[in-house]
Amino acid sequence: MKDLKNLLTPDSGPAGGNPPLSPPGQVNPRIRLVVTLLALAGLVMALRAFHLMVIQQGRLSGLARQQYQRAMQLEGRRGPIQDREGGALAVSLASESIFINPAQLTDTAGAAWALARILGMDPRHLTNELSRDRAFVWVKRQAGPEEVRRVKALNLAGVGFLTEYRRVYPRRELAGAVVGFTGVDHNGLAGVEYAFDSVLRGTRVERLVDRDALGRTVVAAGGGEPDSGGSVRLTLHPAIQWIAEQELNKAVAQHGALGGVAVVMDVSTGEILALANAPGFDANRFQEYSPAHLGNRAVTDGYEPGSTFKIITLAAALEEEAVTPDLKLFCENGTFPVADSVIHDTSAHGWLGLEDMLAVSSNICMAKVGMMIPKPAFHDYMEAFGFGQRAGLFVGQDGRVWSAEATGDLPPPEKWTQVDWAALSFGHGLLVSPVQMTAAVNTVAAGGEWVRPRLVAELRNRRGEEISFGQVTRRRVISRQTAAWVGHAMTVVVERGTGTQAQVYGYPVAGKTGTTEKFEFEAKGYSKTRQIASFAGFLPADHPRITILVVVEEPQEGRSGGAAAAPVFREIARRTLPLLGVPPVGARMAGGRP
């Protein structure tokens, strides 16, 4: 008890009781420890604050902006695509795009279902999108005027509208495959829209979309206004384009064909007046069509030209002096063995002159003519006529290639077998594009000069300045005398040969039919049921103004070029020449324009 008493008794001084906790003048160690720990904690907190407020300030501000701010791109109006007369083929119209701040919605599911019903969207998908923790959600880009009006009438909190531009194609199906189309972000995806996207596209500016303290979405101002894009004017004649499409579609339907192509070209300038594809499509609704229908097959696809190529063989042989105009050859009565193969004619023929060989379209006699031309020389003529290379529709004056074109497939002469040599003479064993074939036939019409085809009449940049592009390019391939003789032989084809259905009342026609079996890669041979029918020619034959090519793919009725393609040529020519001010023969003889 004494010890306990001593412990409970206050210190009475040095004479008795407990000693002091620490010596006089010194801090208690426990207090010093506590103070040290508090100081260290304060230092750590100060360093942490410095790190967050100074060192990490940029990163944390960025994270905050990601939660409350979004950058978006606004693009200027896309420039127009026009026909040769300045008519609109593609324009951009101001339209409103609908967005929403989900945080402001009081009934997310109800808003999603109401919007989906107006905009034709999946309500469940829209509900999921609006349920995410985001300050900005696109609901529909480039909505229609009626859709915008009905959405505004809902008066939903958090719904906003931004002005963008919607691409519109006023002529609908007219030249759809040529003009092409764009995506929702204004990028060209096909045709001229794709080829000259860098010219047509407007500039882009950035806008910030903020969420204020109350959670409302606000589009920040500033950044300047985006500039509009440049323009493209094409050589297409709107009326002739419409005629070509109408007649081609009619023939495809009549013959139960898979499709077709028609090209109308100005003889002297090379300008493409019409470039028709069947079936076509409405670029305003391109998503509704099969991808197989969306291409410009006249430019991008290759086919075996068949007997229309005999024009080239005959011209090369005459120019090379491998044959003379008075030559006659024996056509073997319809069957001609060459190496390990046999060439056939559709009818048996004996001795024929060059005109008649072309008129009846003898494969055998034309093979004999072609094999009189040395292989390297024959190949050089084919190249000079434009085969095995780009036609040049999308090649600028500076050599820049703006878009892809089919080069075709022209085998090198050192790889030709005897059978290849013979087959090439009547248009088998090579691939050409319809535009290439049109330009080659036009060489005869133009007096022996190859003229580069032209689709673009004018390019202008965003400042309205003209961009130099694709001036007329010419090169002499055959003499005027050879061209005149071949042109005359082509008139015989139409007067009394396989092309009589191409005759146009009042206008002399020079032309050539073609009927080619399609090659089936699976069967490794030519089909007996799938064919390509074609007709190529120009008129008036005595003063050529236009060259026309018609290709009908897999006609089921009237499968030959004379039956399926020649009548389309006739109708396009008959309706086109008056539009160009070309009078018939009688009017010209009476003193009209030649």
Question: Residue 353's beta-bridge partner residues?
Answer: 328
- Token pair of 583 as six digits: 């009078």
Q: What is the dihedral of CA 361, 364, 370, 375, to 10 degrees?
A: 140
Give the CA angle between residues 451, 378, 479 to the nearest 5°. 45
Residues 6+ apart with CB under 8 A from 415: none
DSSP letters, 349-377, are --EEEHHHHHHHT-HHHHHHHHTTS-HHH
Task: Please give the helix or strand (H or E) that residue 234 lies within, else none.
Answer: strand 231-234
- Token pair of 443 as six digits: 């060489």
d(CA 349, CA 540): 30
Helix 108-119 with 145-154: angle, nearest 10 deg: 160
Task: Please give the helix or strand (H or E) that residue 245 lies within, else none.
Answer: helix 238-254
d(CA 388, CA 268): 23
The letter for the amino acid at 15 is A
Coil, strand or helix at 573:
helix
d(CA 39, CA 31): 12
Give the Å distances, CA to CA, from 531 to 165, 466, 555: 45, 44, 7
Which one of the listed residues 92, 95, 231, 307 is annotated catalytic?
A: 307
Task: Please give the helix or strand (H or E) that residue 529 lies within, else none.
Answer: strand 525-539
Maximal CA-CA distance, the chain: 155
Q: What sections of 9-70 are H helices per DSSP?
A: 29-50, 57-68
Question: Residue 525's beta-bridge partner residues?
Answer: 520
**What is the bridge-based pairing of β-strands 231-234 and 81-82?**
parallel
Coil, strand or helix at 24:
coil
**307 has catalytic annotation:** yes
Coil, strand or helix at 193:
helix
The letter for the amino acid at 136 is F
Please list the active-site residues. Answer: 307
